[in-house]
Amino acid sequence: MRHSMPTRGQRGYSLIEAVLVVAILMILATASIINIRAALRTSEMDRAYDLTLTQMRQARQSAIAERRIYRLAFTSPRFLDVKRVEKTGPPTQIGQFTLPGLIVFQPEPGVPTDPAKTPDQWGTGSLGIDFNGAGLIYFQPDGSARDEGGRVNGGVIYLARPGDLPRSRAITLFGTTGRIKGWRLTRRGSGWAWN
């Protein structure tokens, strides 16, 4: 009885070939996990930014449409409370919101602090919620924003995940018109700029 050697096509993979395939798969899996984590962080920031921007715009639109006053209270580190001010009696609760994940109302160290480079040139980049030194906005029936004393109130809100400067966001409010604008932090040369 003769035993023949298996031909090249009949032999299996060598141990070295199997190890190389497993190593390549591990490298691809690691790269995928890193990309997924980055995408999840961006998604979390986008949800917090959209939530804040949407609630501000809805409160302003409701104030105009209903000819009522809407109050937004921003509370550090991550809470937003929306109420409709009633002509008589206590305010009516519209919604209470918490920023998702680890997102908080704060400027991340490294954001531009030069007043000429802050969003809409508001503030100094040192306070997370900066509306005339308070966290309250009263949207009026004409669309403008005021503070508790009835003075025109504009300012800026910063949103950040601690330790994650590149995903920082900001929202500005011009009190006289009620204009609300969202900002994203982007790399510009060796520094950062709001766009």
Q: Is residue 1 part of a domain?
A: no
Domain count, the chain: 1
Whole-number pLDDT of residue 8: 57
Residues 6+ apart with CB under 8 A from 27: none
Q: Provide the pLDDT for residue 85.
A: 97
Residue 108 lies in a domain: yes
Of residues 5 and 129, more confidence is placed in 129
Question: In this structure, is residue 3 part of a structural domain?
Answer: no
Summarize pLDDT for 90-105 with one digit per residue, the tens: 999 999 999 999 999 9
For residue 5, CA distances in Å to 8, 10, 17 come to: 9, 9, 21
Pairing of strands 104-105, 155-160: antiparallel
Residue 6: inside a domain: no
What φ, ψ does residue 6 adopt, rounded to 5°? -65, 145
* Residue 5 included in any domain: no
In sequence order, which residues have a C-beta less than 8 Å from that of residue 138 and are 6 or more positions away? 69, 70, 71, 85, 145, 146, 147, 148, 153
Angle at the Cα of 131 from the Cα atoms of 115 and 164, rounded to 5 degrees? 65
Domain that holds residue 24: 14-194
User: Residue 46 sits in a domain of what CATH number?
Assistant: 3.55.40.10
70-87 residue pLDDT tens: 999 999 899 999 999 999
